[in-house]
Amino acid sequence: MRTRVTLTLLSLLSLTPLIAWRAAGEPWTLGPQSRLWIDGKSTVRKFSCKAPAFTIDADAAPGALGAVMAGQKPVRALTVTVPAAKMDCGNGTMNEHMWKALKSKDAPTIAFTLADYDVAKSAGSVQGTLRGTLSVGGAQRPVTLVAQATDAGDGAVRVSGAYELHMKEFDLKPPTLMMGTLKVDELVIVNFDLVLQRTAVATLDR
């Protein structure tokens, strides 16, 4: 069954998350604490840019979350898509420079497509190594992500991890502001912290 996950963090922040996950009649949501963001630094200060909206498309077997925590591999396909022009660094000028650096006009989406993965169960958690393709600014590169799944209570699962992205490897030019006084380091950290939980609310098809 094709399972579509749609997460809009703006609605999550208002504590009214969209119905997000459905597998074989099982409804799921992404909890309001779910986040996806980029951390970086410049010659002046550190910064953080959040993704206020992103979409996850997955092909998963029924009971996928429980299977993940058992150290199994229920996910057959996965794609995460982020609108590049919606990345928010909390500063209008910084936003414009970041959107330009990400080439958001020519490449409006940032995407990760899973190719294969391995899982290893340990005490209290499951470690996952995800291999796939990351598309940023129109460039595509093979990447490997390390993620951890832990029991979040009440049948929920927390999936978190980080990836070191070198902007120049994707032919991206790090932003420069204030006549060159502020220069963004080309290494940024892509972070994700997602809580998948069962919901008793009827599923919405979008």
Q: How far is Cα 181 from Cα 175, in angstroms, rounded to an integer?
A: 11
Tokens found for residue 128: 């996952």
Neighbours of 6 (CB within 10 A): 17
Mean pLDDT of 92-106: 92
Rounded Cα distance, 110 and 56, in Å: 12
Q: What is the mean pLDDT of the chain?
A: 82
Is the pLDDT at 27 greater than 50? The verdict is yes
143-199 residue pLDDT tens: 999 999 999 988 889 999 999 999 999 999 988 766 667 788 999 999 999 888 766
* Residue-wise pLDDT tens digits, 39-95: 999 888 899 999 988 888 878 888 888 888 999 998 888 888 999 999 999 989 889
CB–CB of 114/78 below 8 Å?
yes
- Take residue 32 and report the two structure tokens written for it: 């309001």
Q: Which amino acid is at 197?
A: Q
* Domain residue extents for the chain: 2-198
Looking at per-residue pLDDT, the higher value among 6 and 59 belongs to 59
Tell me the C-alpha distance between 8 and 140, whole Å: 25
Cα of first residue to Cα of last residue in the chain, in angstroms, is: 16
Domain made up of 2-198: CATH architecture: Beta Barrel (2.40)
At 96, give phi and psi (nearest 5°). Answer: -60, -40
Percent of the chain clearing pLDDT 90 (strictly above): 50
> What is the pTM assigned to this prediction?
0.82
Which amino acid, residue 48? S
